[in-house]
């Protein structure tokens, strides 16, 4: 802590991301605006300095929150921060409910699990982080750290993701947990959000190219036209889901995306990782299917004249016939595109696995970025 020329005390807040992937992007965005929010919500008479860092605190797959907080406390002392907050994409639990945040006034550190915040994570962080900082400063016992100007913010009433508080309030060792049902739903959706399904979608470009090639070939086959006319909506729906399931399964098997329990990864955590991977790939596959379906409809309208289709089906045709034709072709082409997914870049596809993160190249501070 330092003193400015205006005799305003300075409090340094460290934001740490682990692992250095998606959480680092969140830290970069939050760092630029956190000082102003701390001034508004915690103490306007303090000069707030926010430091961003990532890669220097190892994620703890074994659920060792206390160990992670110890690592964070060592980093805080080394960097001479007054308080430190860690943002992680690990889905954490306590008392069989999702853990949203954990704070330790003794170590002057706190941890926030991004997936537990749901889809609108940055918005929730804008309330969570200032509240944690204010609480840490209020409960701090060291004289060199000035207490927060007002009463600590009750996060359970400020953030929808937080259902209740557990732990020793008097000792400043608090955990903020979500509800059993809604919290778990929010945790799963937050995992998909943290896993960035858009990245998986963009990474499967070769799959889409292969699927479009298969669809273009199928458009020229009048047998497919007759099949689309003969199959009802129920069977076409089943074929579509079978095709999408085959695609997701092939991606997981071909690129070894399935997380297996080991000494560091519990069976429960492995199941959560696999669920996040499946949902991410399923969402990316569904969007790819819609793109393929739309392109196939347009190609069918351009290439297949109404009179030709009428002659093949031997009845009057309408726009819905083109939709049914595109439906069956897209489903079959999705299975063909799964073969093309084996040609994708390994790192690009593996990025869709929730438990996969590139090896960090050492920790970085925002001043080094």
Q: State the angle between helix axes of 319-340 and 267-303 in degrees (0 to 180), rounded to the nearest 10.
A: 130
Give the burial string for 276-312 (b: 16+ CB within 10 Å, else e): bbbbbbbbbbbebbeebbebbbebbeeebeeeebeee
Number of Cβ within a 10 Å radius of residue 209:
13
Q: Beta 47-54 vs 364-365: how paired, if at all?
A: antiparallel
Number of Cβ within a 10 Å radius of residue 261:
13
What pLDDT score does 145 carry? 53
Instruction: Going residue by residue through the chain, which has 369 residues, state the pLDDT in tens, using 9 for 90 and above.
Output: 444 445 678 899 999 988 777 888 899 999 989 999 998 888 888 889 999 887 666 666 665 788 888 889 999 999 999 999 999 988 888 878 899 999 998 899 999 999 999 988 898 999 899 999 988 888 655 544 555 555 455 676 678 888 888 877 666 788 899 988 898 999 999 998 888 887 777 667 777 777 777 787 777 777 777 777 778 788 889 888 988 888 888 888 877 888 888 777 778 888 888 999 899 889 988 988 998 899 888 988 888 888 887 777 778 878 888 888 888 888 888 876 666 555 455 666 666 677 665 544 444 444 433
Instruction: From 280, 285, 277, select the one nearest 333 (Cα to Cα).
Output: 285
Token pair in block for residue 157: 């009433």
Q: Beta 97-104 vs 93-94: how paired, if at all?
A: antiparallel
What pLDDT score does 58 carry? 63
Q: What span, in angstroms and rounded, lies between the C-alpha atoms of 124 and 165?
A: 17
3 state DSSP class of 270: helix
Q: How far is CA 278 from CA 104, 183, 324, in A?
A: 35, 19, 28
What pLDDT score does 354 carry? 76
Q: Beta 83-88 vs 10-18: how paired, if at all?
A: parallel
Torsion over CA: 152, 157, 158, 162 (sign): positive
Question: What element of type H or E holds 20?
Answer: none
Q: What is the DSSP letter of 110?
A: E
CB neighbour class for 135 (10 Å; exposed up to 12, middle 13-18, buried from 19): buried
Tell me whether the omega of the peptide bond preceding residue 19 falls within 30 degrees of 0, making it cis: yes
Cβ-proximal residues to 141 (8 Å cutoff; 6+ apart), any chain: 105, 106
What pLDDT score does 337 carry? 62
Give the burial string for 175-190 (b: 16+ CB within 10 Å, else e): bbbbeeeebbebbbbb
What pLDDT score does 364 carry? 46
Whether pTM exceeds 0.85: no
């Amino acid at each position: 802590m330092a003193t400015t020329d205006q005799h305003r005390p300075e409090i340094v807040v460290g934001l740490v991301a682990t692992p250095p992937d998606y959480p680092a992007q969140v830290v970069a965005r939050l760092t630029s605006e956190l000082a102003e929010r701390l001034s508004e919500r915690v103490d306007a008479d303090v000069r707030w300095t926010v430091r961003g860092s990532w890669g220097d605190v190892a994620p703890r797959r074994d659920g060792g929150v206390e160990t992670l907080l110890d690592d964070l406390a060592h980093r805080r002392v080394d960097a001479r921060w007054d308080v430190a907050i860690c943002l992680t994409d690990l889905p954490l639990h306590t008392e069989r409910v999702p853990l949203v945040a954990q704070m330790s006034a003794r170590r002057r550190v706190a941890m926030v699990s991004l997936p537990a915040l749901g889809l609108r994570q940055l918005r929730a962080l804008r309330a969570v982080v200032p509240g944690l900082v204010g609480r840490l400063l209020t409960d701090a016992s060291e004289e060199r750290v000035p207490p927060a100007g007002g009463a600590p913010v009750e996060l359970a009433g400020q953030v929808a993701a937080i259902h209740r508080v557990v732990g020793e309030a008097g000792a400043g060792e608090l955990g903020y947990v979500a509800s059993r049902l809604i919290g778990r739903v929010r945790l799963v959706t937050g995992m998909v959000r943290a896993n960035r399904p858009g990245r998986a979608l963009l990474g499967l470009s070769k799959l889409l190219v292969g699927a479009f090639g298969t669809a273009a070939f199928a458009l020229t086959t009048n047998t497919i036209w007759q099949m689309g006319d003969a199959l009802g909506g129920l069977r076409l729906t089943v074929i579509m889901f079978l095709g999408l399931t085959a695609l997701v399964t092939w991606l997981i098997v071909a690129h070894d995306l399935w997380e297996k329990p080991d000494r560091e990864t519990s069976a429960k955590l492995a199941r959560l990782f696999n669920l996040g991977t499946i949902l991410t790939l399923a969402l990316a596959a569904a969007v790819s299917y819609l793109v393929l379906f739309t392109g196939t409809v347009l190609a069918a309208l351009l290439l297949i004249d109404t009179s030709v289709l009428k002659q093949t089906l031997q009845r009057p045709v309408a726009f819905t016939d083109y939709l049914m034709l595109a439906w069956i072709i897209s489903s079959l082409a999705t299975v063909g595109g799964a073969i093309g997914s084996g040609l994708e870049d390994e790192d690009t596809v593996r990025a869709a696995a929730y438990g996969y993160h590139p090896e960090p190249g050492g920790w970085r501070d925002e001043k080094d970025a």
